[in-house]
Structure 1
Amino acid sequence: MDRSLPLNWLDLPDHIQAFISEKLVHIKDYIRFGAVCHSWHSIYTQNPHRHLMHRQLPVLMLSSDYGKTKIYDLSSERVHKIPVRVREYYEYSRCSTEGWLVSKPVIWNPSLHLFNPFLSVANKIELPWLLSNFYFDKVVLSANPASNPHFVVMAFSLSSVCSDNRKMAVYKPGYEAWKFLDCKCNKIQDVIYYRHQFYVLDCDGAVWACNATCPHLILWNVVQVPPLELKCVGRRMYLVESSGVLLQVTRIWKQRNGYNLHPHLTVTAEFKVFKLEQVALNWVEMTTLGGQTLFLGDNTSMSILASDFPGCKPNCIYFTDEGFGDTVGEFGYIDMGVYNVENGSTEPHYPQNYKTVRNPAPFWIEPTLGASSFVQ
């Protein structure tokens, strides 16, 4: 090759161009790739969901006084305004899953829907009404509806007052109504879609499985509790898939300001992380995350490789306050931070001078293609 001649990117073979696109991790880079020239743009348009192979660094949804909804971008360490079209959905949102906001039914509008704030078209999915006596705390998608029309939705309640057959509900396209599961497990803590099944974590640390493709929806116990005794400490637990491994994470609260132990009067003291050994089906405690970073809160728990995203702290857990009203301090929610699994330290992860309000509580949402509209 004559190195004195200028390189013409248009002359690159199609398979080399496709190979380059496959190496891109960031959505923003994939969008820029499609803007280089016509041939590169054709690869971009022909493979609109290639970016979904990589988990994206989530942004933090925030609300402040006077109905101002904003997001905090960890990569740029900046707070951004959210377009007006998103605010009306965020105001009644309770959580997020696979880049979609999940609306919170209200008395005058009991319907439930999914809304993707990063997409300009095909960004809203109407779901059937839930029963009036079923209050969901979290909703989990089996897949991103933008790339998989055969998604399944599971809604569940953390409340112990719900009857066994009203703790969990499942919906998928084609259903006329939600289907409720007989749930014999103890109070639910978290749900995740893992290896083609929904896995349910109860407050004892036991894990149950549900195959949502079966005509009869049942739960069966697959893994017993990890070796952790915390009889006198408040806790909250999560399930996370990290590098193909199922993790159980226990969030441990401590008393705040000398009050008796109560979720409204506590702050996070530490986390314990266990990985599931698939063969022995037992839990093994971890003291590192192998360079991964976890994001926990009112969102589908997720893990990303920290080295893919500058500024993201490896072997750490980014956690949000889960809406306990009394943890709102001078500068907003105080039970939020970055916990280092290796040394047990905690530090802030968003601007402490940005005051948030009580409802809705901050939560993470993962950007999907189209995020350049307000995440610069």
Structure 2
Amino acid sequence: MDHRADWDGLPGKILIVIAHMLTCCEDLYRISAVSKSWNSVVSGLSRDEIKPLQLPPESPLLFLAEQVAEGAAFSCDFDDEYHEEGMVENVDDEDDADEEEHYCYHELYDYRKNSVSDTRGLQRLATGKTYYAELPEASGRLILGTNKGWLVTLGRDLKINLLHPLLRQEIPLPHMGTFLHQLHSEEFILDYISPEDASDGFIQRVAMSGKLHPSKNNGMYSSNPIVMAIYGARRYLAYARLTDKVWTEVLFPSIAPFIDPFIEDIAYYKGKFYALNGRGDLFVCDINDDSETQGRAKGTQIYSWPTDLDIGMNYNNSRTYLVESEFGFWLVVREFKAKYFKAPHGARVKYRTCNFTLWKMELKYSDHHSELPSCTCIPENNLGDQALFIGRATCLSLPSSEYIRPNCIYFTDDILDLSYHVGGGHDMGIFNMETNTIEPFFQGKSIHPISPPLWYI
């Protein structure tokens, strides 16, 4: 007699009760993989508009790159031997050939031709196990993260959407054409590139003011958070709410015409948005719909780096981040080593993260809500019992645990200008602040020309 359990025949009502007792999304993936009937029941729970089953990740998940056609992307890792003979190691040497000789430009990457799968992988940091989910909503689109459970997608249709990858729910944001500064009118250097062709790099960073419950009732969402974005070749700043029809510009005082604002990073911390520009100056963003700016917000500088203070920032070989934390507000400088190739070789550059420096931004608030905080900056070399997560998602810190190491920085590849047309995704690892060493956390390759892996938290 065959006594094997007929799990596929388990009544759906019992499975629903079991699903609501789960504590993390990984368990939800496990039971959905048992059979097609189980997957159908779980999918129905996730899409329930009244009370969707929304479970947090048990540990940070690495949202892997989309699969592309063979040969559409390759890695320029330091370990690769590709075209070593054509390499120029010192890009600052005045005796080198001019810049045009260092780069080999390619045709614009066309994801419509190269996307080959709607399935995306999410790898759990704690175990290294990868879960797969059907996500056609992200197919062929640039992905940015918010660290609030939502991703932002955009593509050549110029549409911008919030996407919850576990529930497959999309929320439209204002169209890309509603930003104040457009390539054809403002970025004269790129006049010959259409907005559709430049859409892959139009938005560099996004941040959200709060969590959003994915359900929708009578056209209204449970909350209406602000989404802020860094966009354009000069890295302007704008924001929108879910109910807005256009993006609203954030204005900054002009310090250097034709260079400003060039915002490097943004973060939402203790009820306010903060922005960091390319010189390391910190701004607080005042968003007031009734202000004299007539529908625009303004950024007010609250900290400027002293001219004699070296924080290790170098435009060509570093990136800066603002990191929100329960334990403080951090400025992180990420340093790279880069090796360039002379034409006509196909690879533009090899690059790899080599070091991090850390600064704590001490913000002091007055008793009057209308007054802006003051800021001082203190160098740090110890994160204590926490770890930072940085990359193409809004950066944040998490307390250490059995799978998160204390005093470490977990980083993913986010050098879009270098990885464009070539494939970013190889420059990922764990930087130990105590030993200044780097080791990998991801085995294998996940390479993509415009949208490399990022943290989903």
Cα distance change, pair 333–231 in 1 and its aligned pair in 2 (3 A)? closer
Cα distance change, pair 219–26 in 1 and its aligned pair in 2 (3 A)? same
Task: Give the structure 2 partner of residue 104 of structure 1.
Answer: 154
Q: What are the Cα deviations for residues 312-354 of structure 1, in whole angstroms up to 9, with x where unaligned? A: 22211111111447669x9973321111111110011111x33
SS at match of 1:208: strand
Cα distance change, pair 326–72 in 1 and its aligned pair in 2 (3 A)? same
Q: Distance in 2 between matches of 1:231 and 1:128?
A: 34
Q: 2:236 aligned with 1:156, yes or no?
A: no
Task: Give the structure 2 partner of residue 126 of structure 1.
Answer: 172
Matched residue type, 1:224: S
Residue 343 of structure 1, aligned match among 435, 439, 446: 435
Cα distance change, pair 50–333 in 1 and its aligned pair in 2 (3 A)? closer
Q: Distance in 2 between matches of 1:186 and 1:127?
A: 23
Task: Give the structure 1 partner of residue 305 of structure 2.
Answer: 225
Q: Distance in 1 between matches of 2:267 and 2:159?
A: 23
What displacement does 1:25 show? 8.7
Q: What are the Cα deviations for residues 58-88 of structure 1, in whole angstroms up to 9, with x where unaligned? A: 43332234434322211121222222xx133
Matched residue type, 1:60: F
TM-score, structure 2 length as denominator? 0.60
SS at match of 2:65: strand
Task: Give the structure 2 partner of residue 317 of structure 1.
Answer: 409
SS at match of 1:176: coil
Task: Give the structure 1 partner of residue 99 of structure 2.
Answer: none
Is the 2:359–2:377 contact (alpha carbons within 8 Å) kept by the matching residues of 1? yes
Q: 2:253 aligned with 1:191, yes or no?
A: no
Matched residue type, 1:177: V
Cα distance change, pair 271–231 in 1 and its aligned pair in 2 (3 A)? closer
Cα distance change, pair 323–64 in 1 and its aligned pair in 2 (3 A)? farther
Q: 2:364 aligned with 1:295, yes or no?
A: no
Q: Distance in 1 between matches of 2:313 and 2:25?
A: 44
Task: Give the structure 1 partner of residue 161 of structure 2.
Answer: 113
Task: Give the structure 1 partner of residue 63 of structure 2.
Answer: 60
- Find the structure with the greater CA-based Rg: 2
Is the 1:323–1:360 contact (alpha carbons within 8 Å) kept by the matching residues of 2? no
Tell me the number of residue pairs that the alignment of Structure 1 and Structure 2 aligns: 312
Matched residue type, 2:300: W
CA root-mean-square deviation: 3.5
Q: Distance in 2 between matches of 1:314 and 1:231?
A: 25
Q: 2:328 aligned with 1:245, yes or no?
A: yes
Task: Give the structure 2 partner of residue 136 of structure 1.
Answer: 203
Matched residue type, 1:278: L
Q: What are the Cα deviations for residues 262-308 of structure 1, in whole angstroms up to 9, with x where unaligned? A: x944321101111122347211111111111111111011111122x
Q: Distance in 2 between matches of 1:325 and 1:248?
A: 22
Q: Distance in 2 between matches of 1:74 and 1:96?
A: 17
Residue 305 of structure 1, aligned match among 386, 391, 399: 399
Task: Give the structure 2 partner of residue 77 of structure 1.
Answer: 128
Task: Give the structure 1 partner of residue 352 of structure 2.
Answer: 267
Q: Distance in 1 between matches of 2:58 and 2:209?
A: 15
Is the 2:59–2:125 contact (alpha carbons within 8 Å) kept by the matching residues of 1? no
Task: Give the structure 1 partner of residue 276 of structure 2.
Answer: 201
SS at match of 2:136: helix
Q: Distance in 2 between matches of 1:231 and 1:194?
A: 23
SS at match of 1:334: coil
Task: Give the structure 2 partner of residue 16 of structure 1.
Answer: none
Task: Give the structure 2 partner of residue 15 of structure 1.
Answer: none
Matched residue type, 1:236: R
Cα distance change, pair 158–256 in 1 and its aligned pair in 2 (3 A)? farther
Task: Give the structure 1 partner of residue 37 of structure 2.
Answer: none
Q: Distance in 1 between matches of 2:210 and 2:381?
A: 30
Is the 1:158–1:189 contact (alpha carbons within 8 Å) kept by the matching residues of 2? no
Q: Distance in 2 between matches of 1:142 and 1:79?
A: 30
What displacement does 1:104 show? 1.3
Instruction: State the percentage of identical aligned residues.
Output: 24
Task: Give the structure 2 partner of residue 358 of structure 1.
Answer: 449
Structure 1 window deviating more from structure 2 (231-240 vs 312-321): it is 231-240
What displacement does 1:117 show? 1.0
Q: Distance in 1 between matches of 2:418 and 2:299?
A: 35
Is the 1:186–1:204 contact (alpha carbons within 8 Å) kept by the matching residues of 2? no
**Where does the alignment leave 5 or more consecutive residues of structure 1 unmatched?**
1-20, 33-46, 367-376
Task: Give the structure 2 partner of residue 374 of structure 1.
Answer: none
Is the 1:249–1:274 contact (alpha carbons within 8 Å) kept by the matching residues of 2? yes
Cα distance change, pair 221–206 in 1 and its aligned pair in 2 (3 A)? same
Cα distance change, pair 314–321 in 1 and its aligned pair in 2 (3 A)? same
Q: What are the Cα deviations for residues 40-61 of structure 1, in whole angstroms up to 9, with x where unaligned? A: xxxxxxx999988x99524333
Q: Distance in 1 between matches of 2:300 and 2:53?
A: 34
**Where does the alignment leave 5 or more consecutive residues of structure 2 unmatched?**
1-20, 31-50, 70-115, 184-201, 215-221, 254-259, 292-296, 343-347, 365-373
TM-score, structure 1 length as denominator? 0.72
What displacement does 1:96 show? 1.1
Q: What are the Cα deviations for residues 174-226 of structure 1, in whole angstroms up to 9, with x where unaligned? A: 32321112234542110011111110011111110113244341110112237
Is the 2:446–2:453 contact (alpha carbons within 8 Å) kept by the matching residues of 1? no
Q: Distance in 1 between matches of 2:273 and 2:58?
A: 19
SS at match of 2:177: coil
Which 4+ stretches in 1 moved above 4 angstroms?
A: 24-32, 47-52, 323-328
